[in-house]
Structure 1
């Protein structure tokens, strides 16, 4: 019928490539939605475009380009039997799969880098640990590129026939394992620092869970290894690469998606914007320090939010009446306020029959360290 678009592919018993196309564009759709959410929240939170945003954007574009390579690979023969392909189609298939490997490695490297930059922007790390993590990611990416480039003989390294390649395709294993290990490390490396933050346990757990979602990529990489092991030495590679292609798409796009999940949390976004400040004491970073040491007069005190557990009261007056508010009243009103925007003032909470003139709140905090430290580069 006129006006109808031709199908991207026809699924048959001898052609399962269209499933790869469906998978590729499904991942593109999900990744783009996550990217829109990330930058939409950034605009709402009035966050600037930082280096982690740049690397995430690059990762997203590279993942989309990788999906396009899979589409072309399917048109050239991915998912069909080798004997059914012409030499021209087979040559295009090899080149597209070869290019897709580079794009996938670059997308995952950018996603990992974005995760490191994001975590450092929210919870600053020690410079040595920070640069060590970036070096590990760079080392994996460099090794992976070289392994792909030289796994088969020159001058046609893209012609991937494991039985004829000097490496027999076995270099795919260290690439996948390295990716798995770096993602696992990224998921847990920030946990010790988060655990020492001056925030309540619930928020610490939320932060750790959000960064820990990167373990999903590691689990997908395990499936990728199994699929590669089952199909690597098949003589019919265009047919056998169907399964590994699906797993590789999942690993690449999950790597990009998990790089931005922490930014979807409003509390973490407020930390990165500077509206909330995380302060670590040296006592927390170095548990062997004597906490009883008193500060010198010129050192600033450690500022903390007032505790709701102390006994306190405040006078609230209006033109008509004067009331004494207890700590229980404050707990109720602060619980009401927690559901509103973080920046909304509480000055009108007691406005019942008049206007609040003034309320003062004083909190005394014992110093636990000679010099409080704000960990921020």
Structure 2
């Protein structure tokens, strides 16, 4: 196939963008996982999910490059008939892998948020459930977009309105992104912490606006494509927008692992390590093996009718202090105060198989 970019052949652009954005996604994920492993010597659920997302991203990018090499992005009259079936099958697989990739990227972010926000577990699991159902229904829709036995043949086969369906998919994806942005941001706005730290944390959540912007641009180009006559040349811009959205979804899922964000979370009172005796998915997050530091925490529950909880943590120097660059303002110097009554039960650490308890 011709490799020169012309007004009637934009397939090289599609191929180059697919490979470039795949490399950016891979660098973001490996940087995140590498930093995490250096710090804690272990990975958690959200890291596993983002690695699965990257795997689907790589497979999807290979499919996009293959469909471009078979003529996607070229004028229909210039594509040999022998290249049409590989083009359509690659496009079919790329669409399904795209849904998987962005879904696991979202689930990685939601897993991290679920770890942090220990007081609203039902809301978090509700968002996760909506995301999973949304992805499964989307996969079924793409899988059966055209009549069997050739569900991938959207050139000659009988299919539903693909433009209308993808518009629905992108709009629902946009609303999911808004929920993932708004939910943790509202919690951080209610947290008593220095405004500079709060801005840093909120900025990391607001980086997901990049995904929303790419979705909106894709919707604009898809609307233009619906009026174009050439079915293989016109959609090239939509394909590039989908690659950008996929890359953005993966990259912004890695942003919360950056040092400024973690320091902001520590100062907000949210814990980044395991409470004694805790066995949930939050356990062991950023827990360093062989560290000399030791963290012991207790959760305080409010009286009847009070939904909030406060976490009180006692800390001795350990690996977490490395994030503070020797500064005197550590996570323990920020105290959240509320005028409220609490019932507190304190259990000291078990030593020598005996437990001393006191109630205050």
Normalised by the length of structure 2, the TM-score is 0.75
Q: Of 286, 295, 300, which residue of structure 2 is paired with 1:273?
A: 286
Q: Provide the residue aligned with 1:154 in structure 2.
A: 148
- In 2, distance between residues paired with 1:8 and 1:64? 24
Q: Of 161, 168, 171, which residue of structure 2 is paired with 1:167?
A: 161
- In 2, distance between residues paired with 1:75 and 1:174? 29
- Structure 1 residues 372, 342: closer, same or farther in 2, change over 3 A? farther
RMSD of the TM alignment (CA)?
3.7
- Structure 1 residues 9, 122: closer, same or farther in 2, change over 3 A? farther
Matched position secondary structure for 2:233: helix
Matched position secondary structure for 1:189: helix
- In 2, distance between residues paired with 1:133 and 1:23? 32
Matched position secondary structure for 1:166: coil
Q: Is the 8 A contact 1:302 1:367 kept in 2?
A: no
User: Between Structure 1 and Structure 2, whose CA radius of gyration is higher?
Assistant: 1
Q: Is the 8 A contact 1:77 1:238 kept in 2?
A: yes
Q: Deviations over 1:304-334 (max 9, x none)?
A: 89xxxxxxxxxxxxxxxxxxxxxxxxxxxxx
Q: Provide the residue aligned with 1:332 in structure 2.
A: none
Q: Provide the residue aligned with 2:189 in structure 1.
A: 195
Matches within 5 A, 1:1-377: 9-46=3-40, 48-161=42-155, 164-167=158-161, 169-268=163-262, 271=272, 272-273=285-286, 341-342=323-324, 368-371=340-343
- Structure 1 residues 10, 126: closer, same or farther in 2, change over 3 A? same
Q: Is the 8 A contact 2:170 2:215 kept in 1?
A: yes
Q: Deviations over 1:269-304 (max 9, x none)?
A: 773426889988667998799xxxxxxxxxx99568
Matched position secondary structure for 2:141: helix
- In 2, distance between residues paired with 1:229 and 1:53? 36
Matched position secondary structure for 1:171: helix
Matched position secondary structure for 1:369: coil
Matched position secondary structure for 1:176: helix
State the shift of 1:47 in Å: 5.0
- Structure 1 residues 367, 302: closer, same or farther in 2, change over 3 A? farther
Q: Is the 8 A contact 1:151 1:171 kept in 2?
A: no
State the shift of 1:264 in Å: 1.6
Q: Deviations over 1:148-168 (max 9, x none)?
A: 123222221111239952335
Q: Deviations over 1:178-219 (max 9, x none)?
A: 111111111111122223335433222222221121121011
- Structure 1 residues 286, 97: closer, same or farther in 2, change over 3 A? farther
State the shift of 1:122 in Å: 2.9
State the shift of 1:251 in Å: 0.6
Q: Provide the residue aligned with 2:349 in structure 1.
A: none
Q: Is the 8 A contact 1:163 1:233 kept in 2?
A: no
Q: Provide the residue aligned with 1:294 in structure 2.
A: none
- Any unmatched runs of 5+ in structure 2? 267-271, 273-284, 288-293, 316-320, 329-334, 346-360
- Structure 1 residues 287, 369: closer, same or farther in 2, change over 3 A? same
State the shift of 1:371 in Å: 3.4
Q: Provide the residue aligned with 1:328 in structure 2.
A: none
- Structure 1 residues 133, 288: closer, same or farther in 2, change over 3 A? closer
Q: Is the 8 A contact 1:282 1:369 kept in 2?
A: no
